[in-house]
Structure 1
Amino acid sequence: MKEYNMKKYIKDKILFLGLLTIFCFATMATAQQMGTGISATIVDEQGKPLSGVQIFAPKGISTTTNAKGEFTLAKVSLDQSIIIEMDGYNTQLINSSDLIGEVTLKKSLFLASDKDIVKQAIKTITKREMTGAFSSVNTSDRIVYDNTQYVRDYIEGLMVGVKGTSSVRGIGTALFVIDGVIGRDPNILNMDEVDQITVLKDASAIALYGSQAKNGVIIINTKRGAINKRSATVNIRSGLKTPIELPNYLGAVDYMQLFNEARRNDGLEVFYEQSLIDDYKSSTNPYLYPDVDFYNDEGYLRGATTTTDIVTQFAGGNDKTQYYINMGWNYDQNQVLLNSEANKGSNRFNVRANVDFKVNDWIKSSVDVVAIINSNKTANENLLSSGTTFKPNAYAPFLPLSMMDRSNNSLNAIIEGANVFNGSLLGTTQALRNNTPVAEILAGGRKNKITNTTQFNNAIDLDLSMITKGLSAKTYLSFDFLDVYTESLQNQYRVYEPTWEDGQIVDLTPYGEVDLKDQTQNVNSNSFVSRLGFYGLLNYEKTFKNKHSINTTILGYTFTEQEDDVLQADKYSHLALQISYDYKKKIFADFGATYANSIKLAEGNRGGLSPTVSLAYIISEESFMKNVGFINYLKLKASGGIIKSDIDIDEYYLYDENYSDGATFTWADGVFNREKDISQGQNLSIDYEDRIDLNFGLEANLFNSLWLEFNYFKTDFDNQVTRLSNRYPNYYNIFRPYDNFNKDAYHGFELGLNYAKNFDSGFSFNLGGNILYSQSEVKTRDEVVEYDYLSRIGRPTNAIFGLVDDGFYSENDFNTNTNGDLVLNDNLPVPAFGAVQPGDLKYVDQNNDAIIDDNDRKEIGQYSNPWSYGVNLRLQYKGLSLFILGVGQFGGELITDDNYFWVDGNDKYSEVVLGRWTPETANTATYPRLSSNTNNHNYRRSTFWMKDNSFFDIKRAQLTYEFGKDVCEKLGMSQFSINTAAINLFQFGESRDIRQLNIGSNPQYRTITFGLRTTF
């Protein structure tokens, strides 16, 4: 506890100092004097007036130019900073003293304006200058009409080249970089605080992020204050969530009948007498003959739960200090209705403050502080989980007092000393007295899982132009603390087994300790994780003769993550060099080299060099392309490189010889000792795993309205570390080392399209789409197989290997021997997984050896869909808009292999068993025969259990109305909108019922929300 308090003390001090710093500098931002006024005219480079130019002055004063390009700013004094900006032109920061007469705005190059800046955490660059493969979205462009609060929603279906919410090109989970800090969790953010999301895909784009970036990088930048732009925004969203699918288990009568059938199939006597089953069928007493279903019976689960998000934002600043503050609250109600006082749900509170300030003419700095508290209050038992095993006929969880014989004095004594819940005692049976989920929820106590997240960043930017023009430096320091602990109360309670006579309870047998509430709150620390990150960089940029530009960056990075009770901290560090060159902002070349250091490798072998190169050529600006009218912009790109990585080397000291306890032996009159055996051979030459990358792409703007981006990629993952099992003889087993051996290859393409059209009537639409094809292939494996079809080589890395089913065994497949037992016909292969009978699955004998065993497995599918796509549509008429997002995947399969589908032994029966094989349903059965034993033959991976995993999901739809300027001004607002949205609206696909079904956990939800957003 002392150690825990010290950690909390350190976090509180850092948070206090950070907030104090922010308060001091935010206060400085208000120190301005009111002035008189200024006027000027804004023109373009040809001297033509520009209308609609936005002018921002201190104290939140702003205006726009009229048709003549004129504007007037009242109460603005001289010698103040003024921001002038317009889409398609370079933004100007100008002193108010210089706003005399005409001010000329220069038109920016295509994809080179301030809105086209890609914030890569370590450095910023415009989309025009990017040579690597990337996708980027600015949230301010869409947050009003796509008002989700989950960051991953802006990735899936919207970002070209991303499969799902985090897999770049389907090759693995990407590295998240949030505000320059590697490894932060995007789930802690609300969407309102996010400014930009960028996906870096190829080796050239990810090289600066070191070995952790092996699977691609997703960069998230939060919002920051801007000079002279003051705003306050409130976003409120509330709605209802309804489960899309819940498990459907059989009722008591069906379960008992089918369990008896299973026992008969196994040659055993029935478990339930028919008279008892008949009593269940005809009884009107659900307490004597219970039929319990936690998922569908009234009182256990809510039909719908509520969700609420409230986010407030404040931003502003002057030329010396800018600030951004975000405060949010999210509430999600628990699905479990039973004991709603305990199962309250989760509350999340967040505060973010980002401050940028100018120290002097050559030093700028920023301080970011984040504090998040998440509290999830539940009972000690999870009803959604226990419902998967609790049999419908087990016992009645409630025993009503109204059904008890109160003339029985001994019974009354028990009742008077018992806890009563809604007029009932808590029931059980002797056999199940330790399996009482309802009683545990109502009487067993409660818990509150608390997750505290604290983050602190400090950046210092140094302008070193006094040494040489174009030289700058930056340092970046971050502290992260994640503290997860659980507060709980563990109550004692009693449950009772009833004795029934003539429809009344005449006696109760108590089990458990006497009812007693826990008066001491227990605190258990689940985990405490601290992260320390730092990088420093030196940057030099220079332009020669207005044609040639170079930008050179040298970076040093280190990162440490330490978790409680984990001996070895995770440490990553690297040095990086990147040299960028461009000619007339038309031809670009990037050369990179990253030198990583890994403590997972042996000394002398810990360094690894990752070289990359990329080229881009804006060919549309050449003279020979000028007459191609429909091509407004065309850029060709190519890149290649090698990324050295240790991120998938799961353990430390794999290179070293390890020992473990061996056999025991005795000596010296009975003294015991144990021998030490080598459990892992030494291999000091283990090296980095390699990502070898090649990418060809293009970006195009066609017909002034169609945006297109395309990339073809080929990525090899070579020298993957594995323990070699087949390269050495069996007698060398204990000496087998780890080594670089496996190799996988990925190839595919990604295509993104976006078409926008505006009409004079006020109607506009925007249609976007993207598709990703990513297929993998195993190139090298440490394997020795007898048959070629068993080899993994040449097949997808996620290939499903299993048996090929050939229907069910029929009665004609068996003969009866002299003992009356069924014997499989001689012309059929003999299964090695156990005895079979009619109704069991029949498999194909792939090698024709007359035996069905693991040698008959072959590739039958692949787990992951190689094709994924997204489609989004926005229709707008004046202030009314409709946004729809759909996502889909196809080409892969899924296996139904949990206890909901693989039902044997004493498992609870789900609806899938209704299609079981019987002699009467032999031609129509959709499920094998039932068995009360463990059935190793039927329940193994095979084509029978494989389903098509293709789907198309209408992910989100939102209807928004944005009020006009006149209404907003009357309300004292600058913007005001209302919206209603539907999330997970509908899914199409052969296996949608399976895909949308969660077993033993919170269900997937369909959500309807109503919201409003206002900005002052």
Structure 2
Amino acid sequence: MQKKLLLKFSAVFLLLLKIIPANASNEAKLALNFKQNIDTLQKAPSLYLVDENQLPLVGIKLVNTKNKFSAVTDMNGIGQLSYSTGDVIEVYALNSLVLKVEIKKNESMIMVSSKNPGVASLKPIRTLYDQTVKPSLSTMATDVVYNTDLTKTPVTSIKSSITGRLAGLYTNQNSGRLGSEGRTDGTASLISLGSLGSDAVTMSLRGQNPVVIVDGIPRPLTIFNMEEIESITVLKDAVSTAMLGVKGASGVILITTRRGAKAKQSISFTAQTAFQKSLKLPQALNSFQYATLYNEARLNDGLTPVYTAADLQAYQTGSDPQGHFDVNWADLVTKPSSRFNHYTLNVSGGNDFGKYFVAVEHVDQNGLFRTSDLNTYNTDNNYKSYVIRSNVDLQINKKLSAGINLMGRLINGNEPGYGSQSILNSIYATPNNAYPIYNPNGSFGTTSSYQNNIYAQAISSGYIGTYKRDVSADLFLKRTFDEITKGLWLKAKASIYATLSENTYRNKSFASFFYNPTTKAYTQYGTIGTQNNYTGINYQGHSDYEELTLGYDRNFGQHGISAVLLANHDNSFTGSDLPYTVQGISGKASYNFDEKYVADVAFGYNGSNYYPPSGNYKYGFFPAMGLAWNINKENFLKDSKWLNSLKLYGSYGKTGNDNPGYFVYIQRYFDGTATYFGSTPGSNTSIYEQPLANPNITWEKANKFNVGLQGAILDNKLSFTAEYYRDKYYDLLMQRGKNSALIGQNYPLENIGQSRYTGWDFKLNFQQTVNDFNYYVAATGGLQQSKVLYQNEVNQPFPWMARTGQAVGQRYGYVADGLFQNTAEVNSSAKLEGYTAQPGDIKYRDLNGDGIINQLDQTAIGNAKPLFYYGLNFGFQFKGFDFSALIQGAMNRTIYLNGNTEWAFQNNGFGQAWEQNLDRWTPQTAATATMPRLSVGTNINNEATSTFWQHSGNYARLKNVEVGYTIPNHWARKIGLQSIRVFGNGTNLLTFSAYDRVDPEVYNGNYPIQRSINMGINIKL
């Protein structure tokens, strides 16, 4: 099947090539046309209009105040206008004056801020499969962020760069580890890079994990050179995603890379370096505090103290550093700061024949672990990448165009041999007085209870290198058929992608020793210097994608029609898995009357080979429709001076989510070891089935409704968008709650679940220019609530135990009623099943009043209000100075704290204790205590899931600030440069949170989030 499709697409390519006139293949004539195009561009009296992202601006009116000549910019941003040095040009967007600029000598380019609502409303909206639509003619729910905002944050992940900038998109960063991209599973349409660690930024678009599409092709890659991205667009409703069919229910993150423009060659080089610092590391107790609290915990448990008064005095005074240790492991092993170096080189330009954009990037990011000069190799965790991209567009003749996108990248990662997170876990699990760093003879110290020296884990465990290679190539040909009927075109596209990840293991064992000061003897734990020396492939995969599109765009007087019909085939392989293939047809048609009334219909009809076959594939049909009304074009508002634009729009449709698993409709059997009648484990081989097959599995579905109001007022200075959505997801895959273990097998996932997401998205944008001072304010936000409509759960004896009706992903636990203050209160309260409470323990609410605390008293806990997330972006430009800032945050959010960094003396009593444990309950601190009494090891009462450990996750973060200065152009030209800009920016500078003991996003011992201070310079030739 795959070979046949490839042959068909190859035939289409050949057919398009045959349409080229024979004389066009003459190399000499092609070269002559190329030179003539350049000469025409250079001689034409024209002005070139771009925004701050270097994108050409279309439909902008230019007026020369001297001679009153005017022109409107074409699709290349060029306005044919007679002018001379010193003339003042007025720039209008939708009849609103945006800018006045005096033409200086040898200047033909005018930059206009896209923050202006009038300018923004003329920029086309990018949609699926490389299509664009004029904003006033769109019925879709979308939002976009452009290059200049993306590059303000020194990151490698698009997830981090778009935080707080797009309406309807909520992000959460729960780890700060280096690298930015995790491996997807075998059902992904294309395979992405494996994780080097991952910054673990999760994206939620109206409650769903969106599909990532790069230059029109489903490709879930999120590591990017930010300078190579033109824009990132979110597609949120059914009309905008219907053509994806079984992949459209979750919404889309649409990444569009930069392309060349019809302009003289531009070379841009940026060098920047950042200093990074970890935020909000857990604060461990020193040895004296630890020993004091440990004694107290043992007394609470009815045990004898282990530290004498002399021990406590030695810890407090530091009088015996050899026998009473106090090692701050976090300070010893981690660095106070690290470096992030970033270099990019871009070259772009073009003419009527060809346009090109080429980008090269290098990133070198260090981690947080200290290294040792004794090693000849690096034991820190770090990340290095080398990326090259080339996008070329050719206008072969008036009817035939082509393009090719090439991308290649190498990524090298390094980890301590023991592993970054494992070292952090050791820090969180080891008290300061556990053992010395070194023994008197210079060996690594340890004890029988702690047999792995943390410093040795960091510097003497070798290293693990990760090497990743990615290559992609996209090719398209487009032929217009105006000779048949004006506006008809055909486009063929093909793409290949390959990825490989391999690990080089140079990790080694190490020995640590317990020194007995009495006998002077050493006891060895571990093996000295046993090193691994092998390289293995972590995973590899490749994919191919083919697409054929027939389109039609034409206006008939007041009637406008646009339509596309598309067939595509998306095929991917991961390791030794069988290929995963999605294929089908889709289409979209739009009609507008006088650009006043707009109607869209769209559909997807496709399926995948991982479902039970009907023929070779099982297909589904996913339709959607949308309507829009440009109210401002009505006669009763046409001459309104206060209203510039006002559009009411809405859509409704059915979309799909492909979640098939790996051929789960087939009953599978596995071989493995098993124990029979008392024989030792692993002594026999068995064949067993697991899990039960589901022969009726199909895709998940969503009915999505969206309605919005969009407009601009105050002479196009203030724009607004408000949208309401109501999405029902059904046929969700989940396991039955009403199942039985008697059958001896796990039940399969079945299409039985239902949930609903409702909410509001909004965006507000204001921009104004006063003389040389240009400023803007943009606010985005979302309000989202979810509800489980149905899940197959066991019959719950009490309504508060039911999962149906609660929020999706709702946590369940006990409701805490403070701490027991005395024995009388303990005796008069309900008892936790299997536990005898003491004063200082957490008291739980007896919901069913039976005098026993058990699972029947567990209920939904957490904030039941809709999640509210927001971003506030503001800035200004004055002469050569520019400033911008982004504040981002969330409300009605909860965080849950537990584990080694929250509770004292975990790991059977050998764990660390923390600053917050000083506020534990004692008879003396009963009135002010914020933590329960201390225990050694696990306390089943106090560590049970409950509201006691749940805190407000509301926060506001100064996510980004940037200050820059562009040296006057006449100074730059004296040394042969077009422009020089120096800048500095900072990320995660300030955080204001309702519960500020931990970072509101990264807690519970995860790799800490990083604050960065970055400095750089941009030079353009």
**Do both share a fold (TM > 0.5)?**
yes
1:232 to 252, 267, 285: 267
Partner of 1:628: 640
1:209 maps to 2:244: yes
Partner of 2:595: 585
Q: Is the 8 A contact 2:580 2:608 kept in 1?
A: no
Amino acid paired to 1:771:
G
Structure 2 portions without partners, runs of 5+ = 1-26, 48-59, 96-116, 172-200, 678-682
Partner of 1:532: 544
Partner of 1:884: 885
Alignment of 1:686-701 (within 5 A): 686-701=697-712
Structure 1 Cα separation of the partners of residues 728 and 74 of structure 2: 51
Quickly say closer, same or farther: Cα 1:157–1:143, change in 2 above 3 A. Answer: closer
**SS of structure 2 residue aligned to 1:281:** helix
Structure 2 Cα separation of the partners of residues 893 and 494 of structure 1: 43
Alignment of 1:317-328 (within 5 A): 317-328=350-361
1:375 maps to 2:420: no
Partner of 2:938: 934
How far 1:117 moved relative to its partner?
4.8
Partner of 1:479: 496
Partner of 2:574: 563
Q: Is the 8 A contact 2:874 2:885 kept in 1?
A: yes
Q: Is the 8 A contact 1:111 1:128 kept in 2?
A: no
**SS of structure 1 residue aligned to 2:811:** strand
Alignment of 1:590-989 (within 5 A): 590-604=600-614, 606-647=618-659, 649-654=660-665, 684-704=695-715, 705-726=717-738, 738-760=749-771, 762-783=772-793, 784-813=795-824, 825=827, 827-862=828-863, 866-903=867-904, 904=906, 905-906=908-909, 907-989=911-993
Q: Is the 8 A contact 1:575 1:595 kept in 2?
A: yes
How far 1:630 moved relative to its partner?
1.1
Structure 2 Cα separation of the partners of residues 858 and 914 of structure 1: 30
Quickly say closer, same or farther: Cα 1:330–1:732, change in 2 above 3 A. Answer: closer
Q: Is the 8 A contact 1:602 1:686 kept in 2?
A: yes
Worse-matched range after superposition: 471-480 or 784-793: 471-480
**SS of structure 2 residue aligned to 1:590:** strand
Amino acid paired to 1:335:
L
Partner of 2:216: 180
How far 1:957 moved relative to its partner?
0.9
2:166 to 155, 159, 168: 159
Q: Is the 8 A contact 1:313 1:324 kept in 2?
A: yes
1:387 maps to 2:427: yes
Structure 1 Cα separation of the partners of residues 128 and 536 of structure 2: 39
How far 1:507 moved relative to its partner?
4.9
Q: Is the 8 A contact 2:64 2:83 kept in 1?
A: no
Q: Is the 8 A contact 2:337 2:368 kept in 1?
A: yes
Quickly say closer, same or farther: Cα 1:775–1:497, change in 2 above 3 A. Answer: same
Structure 2 Cα separation of the partners of residues 695 and 837 of structure 1: 55
Quickly say closer, same or farther: Cα 1:192–1:734, change in 2 above 3 A. Answer: closer
Partner of 2:322: 287
Q: Is the 8 A contact 1:596 1:608 kept in 2?
A: yes
Partner of 1:452: 469
How far 1:396 moved relative to its partner?
1.1
Structure 1 Cα separation of the partners of residues 829 and 61 of structure 2: 87
Structure 2 Cα separation of the partners of residues 378 and 67 of structure 1: 60
**SS of structure 1 residue aligned to 2:331:** coil
How far 1:181 moved relative to its partner?
1.9
Partner of 1:366: 403
Quickly say closer, same or farther: Cα 1:50–1:115, change in 2 above 3 A. Answer: farther
**SS of structure 1 residue aligned to 2:295:** helix
Q: Is the 8 A contact 1:798 1:863 kept in 2?
A: no
Quickly say closer, same or farther: Cα 1:153–1:512, change in 2 above 3 A. Answer: closer
How far 1:478 moved relative to its partner?
1.9
Structure 1 Cα separation of the partners of residues 372 and 1004 of structure 2: 22
Q: State which structure, 1 or 2, has the greater radius of gyration over its C-alpha atoms.
A: 1
Amino acid paired to 1:1007:
S
How far 1:166 moved relative to its partner?
6.0
Structure 2 Cα separation of the partners of residues 558 and 493 of structure 1: 52
**SS of structure 1 residue aligned to 2:998:** helix
How far 1:515 moved relative to its partner?
4.9
1:170 to 181, 187, 206: 206
Alignment of 1:436-447 (within 5 A): 436-447=453-464
1:192 maps to 2:227: yes
Partner of 2:348: 315
Amino acid paired to 1:1006:
R
Give the percent of matched residue pairs that are identical in Structure 1 and Structure 2: 23
Q: Is the 8 A contact 1:533 1:559 kept in 2?
A: yes
**SS of structure 2 residue aligned to 1:296:** helix
Q: Is the 8 A contact 1:833 1:853 kept in 2?
A: no
Amino acid paired to 2:135:
K
**SS of structure 2 residue aligned to 1:393:** coil
Q: Is the 8 A contact 1:893 1:948 kept in 2?
A: yes
Structure 2 Cα separation of the partners of residues 119 and 963 of structure 1: 37
Structure 2 Cα separation of the partners of residues 377 and 776 of structure 1: 40
CA deviations on 1:520-552 (whole Å, 9 max, x unpaired) are 8421222223232222211123332x2222222
CA deviations on 1:675-730 (whole Å, 9 max, x unpaired) are 9887655654443321111111121011121011111111010121222232x677
Alignment of 1:250-329 (within 5 A): 250-297=285-332, 300-329=333-362
Amino acid paired to 2:268:
T
Structure 2 Cα separation of the partners of residues 744 and 44 of structure 1: 49
Partner of 1:396: 436
**SS of structure 2 residue aligned to 1:477:** strand
TM-score by length of 2: 0.82
How far 1:482 moved relative to its partner?
2.4
**SS of structure 2 residue aligned to 1:426:** coil
Structure 1 Cα separation of the partners of residues 366 and 473 of structure 2: 30
Alignment of 1:402-441 (within 5 A): 424-433=442-451, 435-441=452-458
Q: CA RMSD in A?
A: 3.8
How far 1:135 moved relative to its partner?
0.7
How far 1:991 moved relative to its partner?
1.9
Structure 1 Cα separation of the partners of residues 694 and 516 of structure 2: 69
Partner of 1:408: none
CA deviations on 1:292-321 (whole Å, 9 max, x unpaired) are 222134xx3221212111111001223222
**SS of structure 1 residue aligned to 2:439:** strand
**SS of structure 2 residue aligned to 1:995:** coil
Structure 2 Cα separation of the partners of residues 149 and 612 of structure 1: 36
Quickly say closer, same or farther: Cα 1:993–1:627, change in 2 above 3 A. Answer: same
Structure 2 Cα separation of the partners of residues 983 and 663 of structure 1: 53
How far 1:976 moved relative to its partner?
2.0
TM-score by length of 1: 0.82
Partner of 1:66: 83
Structure 1 Cα separation of the partners of residues 402 and 309 of structure 2: 81
**SS of structure 2 residue aligned to 1:935:** coil
Structure 1 Cα separation of the partners of residues 562 and 848 of structure 2: 62
Structure 2 Cα separation of the partners of residues 62 and 339 of structure 1: 62
Worse-matched range after superposition: 567-576 or 947-956: 567-576
**SS of structure 1 residue aligned to 2:917:** helix
Partner of 1:541: 553
How far 1:261 moved relative to its partner?
2.2
2:385 to 348, 357, 375: 348
How far 1:878 moved relative to its partner?
1.9
Q: Is the 8 A contact 1:800 1:862 kept in 2?
A: no
Partner of 1:338: 371
Structure 2 Cα separation of the partners of residues 696 and 55 of structure 1: 33
Structure 1 Cα separation of the partners of residues 743 and 520 of structure 2: 70
Structure 1 portions without partners, runs of 5+ = 1-23, 72-84, 90-108, 402-423, 667-671, 815-823
Quickly say closer, same or farther: Cα 1:184–1:729, change in 2 above 3 A. Answer: closer
Structure 1 Cα separation of the partners of residues 164 and 899 of structure 2: 29
**SS of structure 2 residue aligned to 1:579:** strand
